[in-house]
Structure 1
Amino acid sequence: MDDKRKYPRIDIEELAYVSSGGSVMSCVVRNISPAGAAIDVDNPAFVPQRFRLVMAKDSSVRDCRVIWIQKNRIGLAFVDPEEAARRS
């Protein structure tokens, strides 16, 4: 299978949080790149299509959108803040 990603992903195992509309859910970031990430969650049904990913280690925040879901793993694309503002 060809990898069509623009940037290679780096494998990590870091605690983070899915934040949307005042609710917060913990997750584990499994890999990350400048353009996106893959996270594991307990129940993907509770993850909205767009949300903020807050990294526990340094409290950095990225706006995200869901690209794919396979079981408990979710593939994310990071959304440029200017693009997110245009869509709101």
Structure 2
Amino acid sequence: MEEKRRHQRTEINEPAYVSAGGSVMRCTVRNISPEGAAIDVDNPAFVPAQFRLVMASDSSTRDCTVIWIREKRVGLAFAAPATARSPG
């Protein structure tokens, strides 16, 4: 399979949340790069086409678009650089 990514992804295993329309779903970020990520979720049918990914470790957020789904893994493209939540 031809590699289409411009940036190498870093393998991680970090908890995060899919947030959209007032609902939140737990997920695990499996790999990440400046342009996208792959997450694992219990039920990909409930992941909207566009959502905000919130990292549990530091509450940083990324606006995402779903690119592909394979079983319980979802491939994402980021819309913009990460934004950190301001304290307080």
Partner of 2:16: 16
Distance 1:58 1:6 in 2: 26
Higher helix share: 1
Q: Which amino acid aligns with 1:64?
A: C
Partner of 1:55: 55
TM-score by length of 2: 0.90
Q: CA deviation at 1:76?
A: 0.0
Q: CA deviation at 1:80?
A: 2.5
Distance 2:80 2:29 in 1: 19
Equivalence map 1:1-88=2 (5 Å):
1-80=1-80
TM-score by length of 1: 0.90
Partner of 1:86: none
Aligned residue pair count: 81
Aligned residue for 1:80, secondary structure, equals coil
Distance 2:14 2:3 in 1: 23
- What 5-or-longer segments of structure 2 have no aligned partner? 82-88
Counting aligned pairs with the same residue, the percent is 70
Q: CA deviation at 1:2?
A: 1.7
Distance 1:46 1:4 in 2: 27
Output one character per residue of 1:19-58: Cα deviation in whole Å (capped at 9) or x when no partner: 0000000000000000000000000000000000000001
Q: Which amino acid aligns with 2:58?
A: D
Q: Which amino acid aligns with 1:65?
A: T
Distance 1:80 1:53 in 2: 12
Runs of 4+ that moved beyond 6 A = none
Q: Which amino acid aligns with 1:24?
A: V
